Structure 1
Amino acid sequence: MKAQERQSRRIPRIRITVLELFLLLTAVAFAAINPTPGQLTISAVQLAVVGIAMTVTNLRKEPAPPEVFLEEEHFDGGGTIPVKSGALSKMWGNQPVVFSVSPQFRMLVLSPTPEALEFSLSYGLGRLFGPWILKREDVVEIQHVRTWLAPYQGVRAIPAVGRPWTFVTREPATVLACLEELGYPKATDAFSLF
């Protein structure tokens, strides 16, 4: 009961997308540079649109994670995965190579199991590339990466050796609850601008 009371008293975090921030800054900047009645009207309309968009963004709630997960759960989104490829890393001067997918396309599929985190591509591209597998015993830490400007949040798996694996989605609580139920470490909080 006390936990619910604490959650209700907590101040909600204001979310703003990159586009909303850009429109907000341009409205203020153009009104300051050219304070004519026409420009002030345009900036006022632009601020009203940004206000409505921010209200919709902040009132949109993430669905509660289900109580019980099925054995084969799949999540789609985007993310960044380190790629082990000798030919590619030689082309980039022996620098580590990462495979990155935007969450807007929902092309990266995360299929967690008690044994491993499996990342694959959707839309039939999984037949050509991947899957990429991070074994459970290699995962040292799970992080919930909260973003300040983007509407997506990430779930980062920190392996014992190598670069972190990141999965980005609009529903991180569901992914984190599934990983916790499968026996992965409880997520810690991390922050990112984008």
Structure 2
Amino acid sequence: MPSRLPRLLAATGLAVCMLALATACSGQSAGDKSAAPPAAVPGSTAKFGDGPAPDATVTPVATATSTKPAVLLADGRWPGFIAKVAGETVSMDLVEFLTGDAAAAAWQKKYPDSEQDSPDNDYFIINDNKKLRTLPLSQTIKVEVVGATGPGTEETIAVSEVEQHFGNLLKGTLFWFTVKQGEVTKIEQQFLP
């Protein structure tokens, strides 16, 4: 009759390993990094496994207590209208600014009975969604506007001066918003003939 001792030892060893692993995992909370093994000492030869795992391997889950606002626009340049500048934020109405063949195709789709094949001045603005996006302004924000003598004479003004500078014309003035890491770093007026 074969001995059950090897199977019994294997099962006992597995149970001890599982218990040790469970104890080690429960002894350190997710936010407690003080129990992590120290990183390799400068000048020593580091080996795989020295020090704590890099933070990049952990994928955080968003919670209701998160203080960082969601990113409303990806990095890039976005056309839109300014609805309001308030302190450290700007509320903008995102639009589509089309030129050339794209403008002509959109024009023909919107106005199929028009005698014109394309919009005047070769641009077409589509604003089918009136949703406003309130974005934080970078501390180094720059606002470039078309100078008094027309395009090619751009001026830089403070973001706090935008509403006063444009007055009643602000709602109909198109701008480009440069977004980096969720913040508006630059606002540029689009010249429209």
Query: How high is the TM-score relative to the length of structure 1?
Result: 0.23
Higher Cα Rg, which structure? 2
Question: Which structure's residues are more often helix, by fraction?
Answer: 1
Question: Which structure's residues are more often strand, by fraction?
Answer: 2
Query: How high is the TM-score relative to the length of structure 2?
Result: 0.23
